[in-house]
Amino acid sequence: MFPASSLPSRSRPHQKIAYVRAVSQGDYEMEFYSVAINHDVSGEEDCGEDASVRVLTPIKAPNVPLHSGFNAGDNKLYCMGGDPPYRAGRFYEPPHLSVVSVTITHAPRSFYFLLLSPKFISLPLSLSESRSLSLSTMDPNTSEITHHFPPFFQIHKDGRVERFMVSPFVPPTLDPQTGVQSKDVLISPETGVTARIYLPKTNGPDPIKKLPLVVHYHGGGFCVGSALGPATTLFLTRLVSGANVVAVSIDYRLAPEHPLPVAFDDSWSALQWISTHCNGTGPESWLNQYADFGRVFLTGESAGATIAHNMAVRVGTATGLEGLRVRGAALVHPYFANDKPDTMMRYMYPGSSGTDSDPMMSPKADSDLGKMSCEKVLVFVAEHDLFGLRPIGVEYCETLRNSGWKGDVELVENQGEDHVFHLVNPTCENALLLFHKLGLFFNDA
């Protein structure tokens, strides 16, 4: 534990600065901030109800997403000292850690998108609503860690999974700006797998002119993320409105509690459920009335792109989806394995080698690649992908072209951008270009 005196001071007297990791006990994302703590918390059991924490500057680390703010309830601030918790563009664990327990009795308003605007990145920020905090120091090693996979999750000795990034639930709604409606549906009572359906603003069902159907799989390394979270909700609301499509986002079960290939199996079950609507008698009226099952597209980002690829191949080799025609797959920054063993992947996927010899994680190892069902594939790669996935995406396109598959593949590089940048900053110019490209892809069939 570092002494409070080691934290560099700023202009305000008696104010200590620390870089912290905020982890709520509820469903909230991990975030990093530069935070001012107005009390010396080192060695004190309780700093009192009037202790205050103020967000100064959100850290724009290349591999740390900025999402919602502090929320009501019990939270932990993992104080990491005077240096940002990243080095050379990668997350790292500092040698010293001080843990401050924080109870926030009044939730501030969300400033999710405010922080994403570039003009605010370098400015001091404070939350708009007051709150009461109770601060106390804690021992960070109260529970032994058996497996540690930053920045995704760690496993405690008692088997508990602690995620560093947990997506907050955003309820389905009618978006007042775009007119896009959304609803949640239960796909499988046995597994609990759900999906969120998005419907663009319409004048009612038109049996002659139905809309393309986009099936979306969220990213998150198969272990974090959600189809029901804010990033996915905003992305698909914008996409559905701009492209005038119906979308279904699958909330598959996550590893490591549900080891791979569960995510793939859930995603396939979701496609089977969707196909029950092809004759207009499925359980979900929006799909029966508005979706064109002759124009189905699969898409996803990162690990979700990996799922979308696998589903496209499986549709081409399996039966049972009569009436459903997959016309294309759009893969945004796909997450495929390389020749280096991936320890986290081997932990999440016990039957896998964790390398590019696994056909589900590496298309070049899949003998069925040439049987992919769709007619066209659109692949996005990020020039500065923090996970080093750019060359893997480029290689995927070449592998697909040489597989015997008869379709067309297009590669688009997002210049100057990082991994899934369009979710982090959905209003930037390159994100808008990505949305536009996807819209054209889904409607050119």
- Do 306 and 336 touch, CB atoms closer than 8 A? yes
247-274 b/e with 16+ CB inside 10 Å = b?
bbbbbbbbbbebbbbbbbebbbbbbebb
CA distance 333 to 349: 21
CB atoms within 10 A of CB 400: 21
Distance CA 334, CA 306 (A): 6
Using CA atoms, how far residue 107 sits from 18, 38, 72, 127, 167, in Å, is 22, 19, 4, 10, 17
Active-site residue among 67, 216, 277, 419? Answer: 419
CB 407 within 8 A of CB 352: no
3-state DSSP assignment of residue 289: helix
Tokens of residue 374, six digits: 């769709």
Distance in angstroms between the alpha carbons of the first and the last residue of the chain:
60
Q: Is 419 a catalytic residue?
A: yes
Is 147 among the residues known to form the active site? no
Concerning whether 68 is annotated as a catalytic residue, the answer is no
Q: 366, 198, 367: which is closest to 284 by C-alpha? A: 198
3-state SS, residue 115: helix
Q: Write the DSSP string, 155-180.
A: EETTS-EEES--PPP----B-TTT--
Q: Which of 302, 352, 362, 373 is catalytic?
A: 302
* Active centre residues (catalytic): 302, 385, 419
